A and B are shown apart, each in its own frame.
Chain A
Amino acid sequence: MSDFTDKAVLITGGNSGIGRAAALQFAAAGAGVLIAARRLDESQAVVSEIEATGGKAHAVACDVRKSADCDAAVEACLERFGGLDVLFNNAGIIYRDISALETTDEQWAQTMAVNATGTFLMSRAAVAVMAARGGGAIVNNASYFGVVGGRGVAAYSAAKGAVVLLTKAMALDHARQGVRINCVCPGSVDTPMLRGEMEEMGGIAAVRPQFEEKHPIGRIATPQEIAAAVLYLASDEAGFITGAALPIDGGLTAG
């Protein structure tokens, strides 16, 4: 496993699902982990879990829709861990099972604000610091819906398309400053978010087999499998990778 000893890692939405799995793995690899998420009590629980195994972590309340919150999270990371080496933009929301026709202005605005604008605001805050300090790595959590379309996820798909292209454009802007910027494009992952969606779609027992069946591998991913790819892209082993959108989807978008 990659070594992140004495590295500082900021994770948005780091208290649940893929973000939580990444927080645990980064901490186990030696990093100080700053969890920036809206629900501070849930973040504190992850901090306690990390500290119980001898790791370093800290939590701040952060709404990625607000630029002041993003700037403050970067400041908190610098203050607490003395640097900012890795940013994992993971916070995201989805409204599933609604076509564009059924999507309200408010649902559209929220989907774009958290998934796209939040990634931008946090990246803008972080990349300036990283460039000034000689480098860093940003990993954005996109989705296979940022690469192919899907029924009933028009707004989410648009927002994730924005994340994929923001990743590529920013990667070019900062390629000479030592800041690498990539994204992961997960397929369906066994997270609280997906379980919530499955409950709404008719119950986990009834719906989960449909999700499993559409992936060529025949199952959905664990959060740990996505987090492992995030650690790889954030590590020096991926030193020549920037502007990439890495599918981690069990073959879903392979054809």
Chain B
Amino acid sequence: MSDLAGSVAVITGAASGMGNASAVLLAERGAQVVLVDMNPNIAPFATELEGVAHVGSVADSAFCDGVIAATEESAGAVDILVNAAGTIVRADAVDTSDEDWRRIFSVNIDGLFYMSRAAARGMVARGRGSIVNFGSIWGDVGGPGHSAYAATKGAVHQLTKSMALEHARHGVRVNAVVPGEIRTPMLSSERDRPPTEDELHALADRAVPMGRLGDPREVAEVVAFLASDASSYMTGSLVTVDAGYTAR
């Protein structure tokens, strides 16, 4: 099991879903956690995990620089960065507005870049660090009705690989988890109404070889592994956690 005792982990998108599950698991494994989200609910949650909260948008590069600087100042280092913040647009490209396109790019990829750039500077200087990005199966195969989302996740996969190469000799590893259909609030967001249990079962039965949706905790386990020294020979890897979705 991955032991993270003594390490400092910054987790974006920590208020819900897989970011939240990752924060809980990293804390359980001994990491000192720093939670980042636009949702102010992370403040009491951080207290519960004996961690720190920063409320703001990763789309703002100054905010990202500030989170990393504050963490390095108070905790001495950032050893782990988990970039889980993300949003979705449910529309074909032809129906995607300029505003929606910019909004999803600003969070899913600009924000991930700003956080990674800020964190990697210190990691390189210290010769130690692990960055775990949230890709998606839609960054691997096309997602009809999610063109903009797929494009952002394709960008995440490529930034992961390029930054991994840039820092392969610096002790800094950069990997991505590539989740499939996971039971998170995002499954329901940006829809006219949330899907019913029957619809979710039908989705899992139709689309997922294992026949069920994933639990955020099952993805967080992989995040913890990639964050830890147990994965010390892995960099530039895209680790699929999709119950066989893209194996076909």
Contact = CB atoms under 8 A, between A and B. Distances in A.
Contact of B148 (A120, A127, A158): A120
Given A165-B139, A172-B143, A112 B236 contact: no
A163 to B, nearest CB: 7
Interface string A162-183: 1111111111111000000000
A161 B139 contact: yes
A180 B153 CA distance: 22
* Chain A CB within 10 A, most for which of B61, B113, B143: B113
B124 A101 contact: yes
Interface residues of A, number: 47
B116 interface: yes
Contacts of A16: none
* Chain B CB within 10 A, most for which of A108, A109, A166: A166
B159 A161 contact: yes
Given A112-B110, A165-B138, A173-B147, A120 B158 contact: no
Interface residues of B, number: 48
A131 B110 CA distance: 32
B121 A166 contact: no
B151 A162 contact: yes
A169 B101 contact: no
Given A166-B154, A168-B150, A100 B145 contact: no
Given A100-B163, A120-B148, A169-B150, A161 B93 contact: no
Interface of A: 67, 99-101, 103, 105, 108-109, 112, 116-117, 120-121, 123-124, 127-128, 131, 145-146, 148-155, 157-174, 243
Interface of B: 61, 92-94, 96, 98, 101-102, 105, 109-110, 113-114, 116-117, 120-121, 124, 138-139, 141-167, 236
